[in-house]
Amino acid sequence: MRTNFVKSLCELAAKHDDIFLICGDLGYSVLETFAESFPDRYLNAGIAEQNMTQVAAGLSREGYNVFTYSIGNFPTLRCMEQIRYDVCYHEANVKIVSVGAGYAYGPQGVSHHTTEDIAMLRSLPNMLVCSPADPAEAQAAARFMANHRGPGYVRLNKAGEPPLRPIEQSLKLRPGRFRQLRKGNGTAVLATGAIVGDALSELDKSGDDWSVYSAPFIGKYETDVLRMLAEQYESIITLEEHQLSGGFGSSLVEEFSDLYAKGLLTRMPRIKRVGIADRFIGVSGTQEYLRKVAGLTIGSEPA
């Protein structure tokens, strides 16, 4: 996923001379192609992510569409003040790329567990949150962000994720909509990020006739889409590799509840949220192991 995103960004930079990439002293073996191809639009800001964000905001004022790149919490949680004031408040054309969503860097411990970023970033005005599920969505996210004007956040898994479908070169992402990956009845699983693949694998093994949707964007959901889901499914399960408080599932509960209160839904679906309990998991291990420790499984019971 990470490799596909950066490869797409290189291809886009050849067509869009406003694309500028800043990294926080990492990305070796991944970012070299961009650095060598566009040396005047690449900068290593060092291990100084807050400064990196401020530099990005300044470059955006000069007409650049700036992408910042670092691991998990470092370009996000560490830089919240700079993202809030320098990027979002000024609607700066800055895209934050976070590599290592959830437990992707599990062996490095809690400092590298990226499990609160969705809640924090989606709470900021003007921020658009994107969480691709596979290489095709990562490519599409790069294309979208290359043309999107304003703040953006792209949450990528580390590497090696298989495509959930054959690579769709023409896949286009649109905020507010979902990508259906499995058709079923009664219950719909709405998931975001690389853990979408786990949901598909789990249902393939259980044989449950449930639908699965990927949510490449978090928030700004289209009313017609949510109305369709509420009318078509009795139960909805949300799945995310993120804490339950303020995450993807919370965003959907908020939207469904608001629509129901306004009389725009004929009924409120039963919603079961699956995510990380609001606690730290102070052990190290692979991403797969930590997902099991956190109980990130949709189970066989609907909402």
pLDDT at 41: 96
pLDDT at 3: 87
Q: What is the average per-residue pLDDT within 150-154?
A: 98
What CATH number is associated with residue 267? 3.40.50.920
Contact by Cβ (8 Å): 203, 296:
no
Residue 299 domain-assigned?
no
**Residue with structure tokens 């090696």?**
160
Residue 226 domain-assigned?
yes
**Does 41 or 163 have the greater pLDDT score?**
41
Tens digits of per-residue pLDDT, 221-260? 999 999 999 999 999 999 999 999 999 999 999 999 999 9
- Asked whether residue 135 carries a pLDDT value surpassing 80, the answer given is yes
Residue 173 domain-assigned?
no
- Asked whether residue 265 carries a pLDDT value surpassing 80, the answer given is yes
Return the amino acid letter for 204: D
- Asked whether residue 299 carries a pLDDT value surpassing 90, the answer given is no
- Asked whether residue 38 carries a pLDDT value surpassing 90, the answer given is yes
pLDDT at 245: 96
- Asked whether residue 273 carries a pLDDT value surpassing 80, the answer given is yes
Q: Do 106 and 58 lie in a common domain?
A: yes
pLDDT at 158: 83
Average pLDDT, the chain: 94
Residue 42 domain-assigned?
yes
Q: Please state, in angstroms and rounded to a whole number, the distance separating the CA atoms of residues 130 and 117.
A: 12
Which residues, 6+ apart, have CB-to-CB distance to 95 below 8 Å? 65, 66, 67, 68, 145, 148, 151, 152, 153, 154
Number of domains in the chain: 2
Closest alpha carbon to 175 in 216, 213, 208: 216
pLDDT at 52: 97
pLDDT at 162: 86
Q: Do 22 and 133 lie in a common domain?
A: yes
Closest alpha carbon to 5 in 144, 112, 114, 113: 144
Q: Do 16 and 140 lie in a common domain?
A: yes
- Asked whether residue 303 carries a pLDDT value surpassing 70, the answer given is no
pLDDT at 300: 59
User: For residue 194, what pLDDT band results from cuts at 50, 70 and 90?
Assistant: very high
**What DSSP assignment string belongs to the chain?**
-HHHHHHHHHHHHTT-TTEEEEESS--TTTSHHHHHH-GGGEEE--S-HHHHHHHHHHHHHTT-EEEEEEETTTTTGGGHHHIIIIIITTT--EEEEEES-BTTTGGG-GGG-B-SHHHHHHTSTT-EEE---SHHHHHHHHHHHHH--S-EEEEE--S-PPPSSS--TT----TT--EEEE--SSEEEEE-STTHHHHHHHHHHH----EEEE-SEES---HHHHHHHHHH-SEEEEEEEEESTTSHHHHHHHHHHHHHHTT--SSPPEEEEEEE-SS-------HHHHHHHTT----SS--
Structural domain for 286, as ranges: 179-293
Q: Do 146 and 280 lie in a common domain?
A: no
Tens digits of per-residue pLDDT, 55-67? 999 999 999 999 9
Residue 189 domain-assigned?
yes
pLDDT at 302: 65
In the chain, % of residues over pLDDT 90: 87
